[in-house]
């Protein structure tokens, strides 16, 4: 087996077995804290000597969570709760759930009632995060998270340790940005492969993931570059991890040359910069973040950002992957659609949710979009 294939397989294995990863960390006597989407201060968990493990739910049939959620709500949230009720996070010391959208607020409250053995720790973010009062609010939220983590896990917090963790996370951010660009020269890396690389990052300690990504980049650079005849697309949305959807992109010779997806590149846009304390640095990082539907921006900069990605990466079009019942994304879709139309950028809207079993309508839409792009 070639080094490249072997390297890719590692990502696929981890991306497809988060429970296995959790068990492995627990077997190493490490404490694990589950981090719900969208932006959770993983660095704090890491600095306290624990493993932050991200979750974006899973493509599963939602049964138990329906006791707590109405039918018309984001299936990412529903599936996170479903996994919790089913015991998929068994052994975790706590779960941190941020309050970045209304559905997430419901998830936290429902978690308290339905998964009693894993304590719920809220992270309340401000809407106005850029002003000093917003940064102070974020910092106070982080302090609350630290206090709750200390109580739930018995671990303690040290600002100097947070500085070290921030350095590890910044390095990971940089390598993920580098990887995303690097993949564009290798059309043989499929959309399914690309997703496995991004998804596995949530289930690993970041230093371990950084090492794996460095290995992959090294293997890629050893590979001879081939002619790239694929259709270049930019994806945007909250979540684009459904294998059936990604296979449809691959079947239609489409290559994701850049993304503005919350569970992918949006995680790595911004690094924490030095500040008076490490916690201030982390608060400022959140203030600096943008181009995401759950981060308030009066100018809706996300629309121009999307157009900018298309221009920077010379993409042929944009695929907006709408997670059904995601209100913030539905608001932003209009702005992005208008901005793309002004620049004559073809845009396809596809709707997905965690309970989809049939993607034929999406296939029809993608095939037709391909016809337009040709």
Minimum distance, C-beta of residue 367 to other proteins, in the bound complex (Å)? 4
Beta pairing class for 120-123 and 94-98: parallel
Q: What is the CA radius of gyration of the chain?
A: 20
Q: Toward other proteins, which CB reaches closer, 127 or 358?
A: 358
Minimum distance, C-beta of residue 245 to other proteins, in the bound complex (Å)? 14
Minimum distance, C-beta of residue 366 to other proteins, in the bound complex (Å)? 9
State how far the Cα of 38 lies from the Cα of 56, in Å rounded to an integer. Answer: 8
Burial (Cβ within 10 Å: 0-12, 13-18, ≥19) of residue 91 = middle
Q: Toward other proteins, which CB reaches closer, 224 or 371?
A: 371
Q: Toward other proteins, which CB reaches closer, 236 or 291?
A: 236
Minimum distance, C-beta of residue 302 to other proteins, in the bound complex (Å)? 19
User: Site residues (CB under 8 A) for other proteins?
Assistant: 324, 346, 349, 351, 353, 360-361, 363-365, 367-368, 371-372
State how far the Cα of 294 lies from the Cα of 303, in Å rounded to an integer. Answer: 14
State how far the Cα of 59 lies from the Cα of 76, in Å rounded to an integer. Answer: 9
Q: Toward other proteins, which CB reaches closer, 147 or 334?
A: 334
Q: Toward other proteins, which CB reaches closer, 75 or 283?
A: 75
Minimum distance, C-beta of residue 174 to other proteins, in the bound complex (Å)? 38
Q: Toward other proteins, which CB reaches closer, 11 or 69?
A: 69
Burial (Cβ within 10 Å: 0-12, 13-18, ≥19) of residue 99 = middle
What's phi and psi for 352, nearest 5 deg? -135, 160
- Report CA-CA distances (Å) from 198 to 15, 101, 130, 210, 292: 8, 23, 28, 11, 17
Minimum distance, C-beta of residue 250 to other proteins, in the bound complex (Å)? 15
């Amino acid at each position: 087996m070639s080094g490249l294939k072997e390297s890719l397989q590692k990502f696929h294995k981890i991306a497809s077995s988060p429970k296995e990863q959790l068990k492995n960390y627990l077997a190493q006597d490490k404490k694990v804290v589950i981090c719900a989407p969208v932006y959770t201060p993983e660095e704090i968990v890491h600095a306290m000597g624990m493993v932050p493990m991200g979750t974006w739910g899973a493509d599963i049939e939602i049964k138990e969570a329906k006791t707590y959620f109405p039918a018309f709500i984001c299936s990412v949230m529903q599936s996170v709760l479903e996994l919790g009720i089913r015991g998929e996070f068994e052994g975790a010391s706590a779960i941190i759930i941020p309050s970045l959208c209304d559905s997430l607020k419901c998830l936290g409250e429902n978690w308290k009632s339905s998964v009693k053995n894993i304590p719920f720790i809220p992270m309340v973010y401000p809407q106005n995060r850029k002003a000093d009062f917003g940064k102070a609010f974020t910092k106070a939220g982080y302090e609350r998270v630290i206090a709750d983590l200390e109580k739930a896990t018995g671990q303690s917090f040290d600002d100097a340790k947070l500085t070290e963790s921030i350095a590890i996370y910044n390095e990971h951010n940089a390598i993920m940005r580098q990887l995303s660009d690097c993949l564009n020269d290798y059309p043989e890396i499929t959309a399914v492969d690309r997703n496995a690389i991004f998804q596995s990052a949530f289930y690993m300690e970041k230093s371990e993931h950084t090492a794996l990504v460095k290995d992959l980049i090294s293997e890629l650079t050893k590979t001879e570059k081939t002619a790239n005849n694929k259709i270049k697309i930019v994806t945007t949305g909250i979540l684009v991890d459904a294998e059936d959807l990604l296979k449809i992109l691959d079947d239609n010779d489409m290559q994701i040359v850049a993304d503005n997806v919350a569970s992918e590149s949006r995680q790595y846009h911004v690094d924490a910069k030095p500040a008076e304390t490490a916690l201030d640095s982390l608060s400022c990082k959140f203030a600096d973040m943008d181009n995401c539907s759950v981060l308030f921006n009066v100018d809706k900069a996300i629309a121009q950002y999307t157009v900018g990605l298309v221009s920077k990466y010379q993409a042929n079009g944009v695929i907006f992957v709408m997670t059904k019942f995601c209100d913030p994304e539905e608001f932003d879709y209009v702005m992005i659609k208008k901005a793309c139309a002004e620049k004559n950028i073809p845009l396809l809207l596809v709707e997905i949710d965690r309970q989809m079993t049939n993607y034929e309508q999406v296939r029809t839409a993608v095939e037709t979009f391909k016809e337009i792009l040709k």
